[in-house]
Chains A and B, each alone.
Chain A
Amino acid sequence: MMQTTAQINNVTYRYKGAAENSLDGVSLTIQKGETILLCGASGSGKTSVIRLLNGLIPHYYHGDMTGDVKVNGHDIANTQLYELAGVVGTVFQNPRSQFFSVDTDGEIVFGPENIGLSPDEIMARKDNISRQMKLDKLLGRSLFELSGGEKQRIACASVAALLPEIILLDEPSSNLDMQAISMLHDIIREWKRQGKTIIISEHRLWYLKDIADRVIFMDKGRKAHEWHAKDFAMLSEEETRQLGLRPTNINEHYLALLSDKDNAENGHTDISDGILLKDFYFSYHHKPYILRRKKFSADDGDDLSLCIPELTIPKGKVTAVIGSNGTGKSTFLRCICGLEKECTGVIVSDGKEYRKRQRIGFSYMVMQDVNHQLFTDSVEKEVLLSMKEKDVKRCHEILDTLSLLGYKDTHPMALSGGQKQRVAIASAIAAGAELLLFDEPTSGLDYAHMEKVGKLLRQLADSGSTVLVSTHDPEFIEQCCDHILQIKNGRVHPCLSAAR
């Protein structure tokens, strides 16, 4: 006998100040113990469905709403958020902004403390959860020193500590590497085994293949399709692509690569024309010094966080930089573009040498959170800021190639995520950078947006820039990268050519 846990009844919702409805007559019945995968493009209403179920709509995000939502017998509109705390738990997308404490223990007990459980009961729950989720190593640590994957595990634990019947996950894998995704997968499977009702909104579909019972496809605020997991798995790549979804199967070759396994078949490629990096040594652990800081060198061996005696990056190509979190991808990029002052090393391009501060001018990094690198109040000014000699004509040319010219007077912060990224690229081009670095540009993007970024990188490479892009995204590598660099413990494994 099936038992209904949650029911969304013909809900139409518009966020305050928004021009269009985010949800348009959505109805959904969820059975107890079911696992539902919500997919669809960004802005299709996935997150809004999640927010309906946890009550953030209408209690936290205000707007116009018709229809009604019932969760576990509570009528959401007439239930206060705190009454739902023990009923519905939510794991959010960004691990960085969902924890309330600064230490792991405090975070796990935060929910139970809020609902006023007795300290003994809370401690019992904490012990139980940390045994179940194998968190011993993470207890008693500062949340700020954890990796994204570890933070997400703590987030899961802190939700589980409230023992909710229903668990919602809103794009939980966006910022995770392969290893962390497989851990997340195991956590969700364990919840499913315990009989919890699980609703996951996600762009990456492959890791949920064996978990989801039912797949709902959202499009423009409507429930456009619905499949049983079996039927969904039968969809061809062509069909998923037409729906704008990421593939349900990932090329095993890339999975193995990204999971940090050793690659026996190193397909070396000869690079005729390249940018040469020489003697890049860097360590986060300062050596004690008295008067003169000693330079890092190859002799420092295992102390080095980055150790690249020599490396050639193919010119005018897109090269993916892969490796698990914490193995030195970001350090590598930061050192190349000169952000780590103490990193030694010379960049040689066209017979010209760039040292120390010159490296900053030679390369430019588009950060993962582009909000950090937009400073002015209009797109045009933003690009002009990068130019030593302000050349409005050239600025408009650059904006035109990136199809931003129509937005030249818009405030950068009013743009969409993808547009912001393009503004950052425009300023990099305006600054005359030859080597463009991208730090995980596609994490959390849907298929269509990922494809757009891929095309853009190709366009940049074809017009002569050299592109290095760090990524965990197998679909993305397959789509646009020419070469692959693997980083392990700060050591670079030579360029493989991507099977494009």
Chain B
Amino acid sequence: MSLKLDPRTKLYMIFVVSAVVMMSATTPFLWAVRIAMTMIPILLLIIEKHYAAAFRFLIFYGTALLLTFRFLSENSKGFLSAFLVGYCSIIVQFMPAMITAWYVVRTTKIGEFVCAMQKMHIPDGITISLAVVMRFFPTIKEEYTSIRDAMKMRGIMLGGGNAAGIIEYRMIPLLFSCVNIGDELSAAAVTRGLGGKVKRTSVQVLKMSAADYLLMLLFTAALAVFVVSKYII
């Protein structure tokens, strides 16, 4: 089974989840809404066959929830519980946004994304820059892996007796190669007509399906619940 969501729905999901994680859940009902909202992207990941990621997120989030509700309270004392409180509250608070973002980045093709942005009448400048950022993630990963290999061979994984080196030796070659690749990349793109005055077309056909409307409705409702409980009641 596969469920193809419209990138606009996905972007809306990111927007709503990011807004909700900035508001605190104070009642059991609000907590329930929040947890339900987190489960949706996890379910979507399972549908898209990213089982390992879904499982990992579920374990992380579940553990943090369990710890928060079963073992930690206002009276928790001591170093360990202080540490746990910090860890769990960050995870519980912000993990939903991370899961959603991960889902969106993993399942959206650049072409779809560009087309969706155009349909929303976002200026090409912004769309193209964001598309390049998405295109760059895998490149950065490739480059970073080679640099780590080179560091392993030199035996300087821990900075080679220079604490700042741990960061410096990773970042400097990485920046150099990313700048070079970026430069060549944009030269290649402009020779193929990027940045022209002509209105860009797109071969992607985007149509909102029932699932899209349903999800948008659900997320809007969740947002409304949070806004109402925070600002109106």
Contact = CB atoms under 8 A, between A and B. Distances in A.
A83 B196 contact: yes
Interface string A68-100: 000000000000111111101110101011111
Interface in A373-412: 373-375, 385-386
B176 A119 contact: no
Nearest to A428: B153
A60 B190 contact: yes
Contacts of B131: 100
Nearest to A430: B154
Nearest to A83: B196
Contact of A106 (B110, B139, B155, B200): B110
Contacts of B134: 102
Contact of A427 (B154, B169, B172, B201): B154
A386 B138 contact: no
Nearest to B169: A375
Interface string B129-173: 001101100110011001101111111100010000100110011
B184 A162 contact: no
B172 to A, nearest CB: 7
Interface string A107-119: 0011111111111
B184 A92 contact: yes
B196 A80 contact: yes
Nearest to A80: B196
Given A94-B184, A102-B110, A375-B168, A85 B192 contact: yes
Contacts of B151: 375
B77 interface: no
Nearest to B141: A144
Nearest to A341: B152
B19 interface: no
B196 A85 contact: yes
B198 A123 contact: no
Contacts of B177: 369, 371-372
B142 A111 contact: no
A431 B154 contact: yes
Given A98-B185, A101-B135, A109-B111, A119 B203 contact: yes
A365 interface: yes
A339 B149 contact: yes
Contacts of B155: 360-361, 431
Contacts of A110: 189, 192, 194
Interface string B198-209: 111111010000
A337 B153 CA distance: 8
B187 A60 contact: yes
B191 interface: yes
Interface string B178-197: 00110011111111111111
Interface in B94-152: 109-111, 131-132, 134-135, 138-139, 142-143, 146-147, 149-152
A97 B192 contact: no
A144 B136 CA distance: 11
A144 B181 CA distance: 14
A338 B149 CA distance: 10
A56 interface: yes
A357 to B, nearest CB: 9
Given A339-B149, A375-B156, A385-B154, A102 B173 contact: no
B173 A375 contact: yes
Given A113-B201, A119-B203, A98 B149 contact: no
A84 B191 contact: yes
Contacts of B154: 373, 375, 385-386, 427, 431
A367 B198 contact: no
Nearest to A374: B173
A231 to B, nearest CB: 32
B109 A413 contact: no
A158 interface: yes
Given A97-B181, A98-B184, A144 B201 contact: no
Given A337-B153, A360-B152, A367-B150, A413 B176 contact: yes
Contacts of B173: 371-375
Name the residue in A82, A84, A122, A431 with the highest tally of chain B Cβ atoms < 10 Å from its Cβ: A82
A304 B168 CA distance: 37
Contacts of B111: 101, 103, 105-106, 109
Contacts of B156: 375, 385
Name the residue in B169, B191, B197 with the highest tally of chain A Cβ atoms < 10 Å from its Cβ: B191
A25 to B, nearest CB: 25
Contact of B201 (A90, A96, A116, A159): A116
A97 B184 contact: yes
A364 interface: yes
Nearest to B112: A106
A105 B109 CA distance: 11
Interface string A43-54: 000000000001
A371 B194 contact: no
B203 A81 contact: no
A122 B201 CA distance: 9
A133 B66 CA distance: 57
A90 B203 CA distance: 23
Contacts of B165: 375
A80 to B, nearest CB: 7
A36 B196 CA distance: 29
A486 B137 CA distance: 35
Interface of A: 54-56, 59-60, 80-86, 88-90, 92, 94, 96-103, 105-106, 109-119, 122-123, 126, 144, 158-159, 162, 334, 337-339, 360-361, 364-365, 367, 369, 371-375, 385-386, 413, 427, 431
14 contacts: A81-B191, A82-B194, A84-B191, A98-B185, A102-B109, A102-B134, A110-B189, A111-B192, A113-B202, A114-B194, A118-B201, A369-B177, A371-B173, A372-B146
Given A360-B155, A367-B149, A375-B156, 11 more contacts: A82-B190, A85-B192, A85-B196, A90-B191, A92-B184, A96-B181, A105-B111, A113-B200, A115-B198, A372-B143, A373-B173
Interface of B: 109-111, 131-132, 134-135, 138-139, 142-143, 146-147, 149-156, 160, 165, 168-169, 172-173, 176-177, 180-181, 184-203, 205
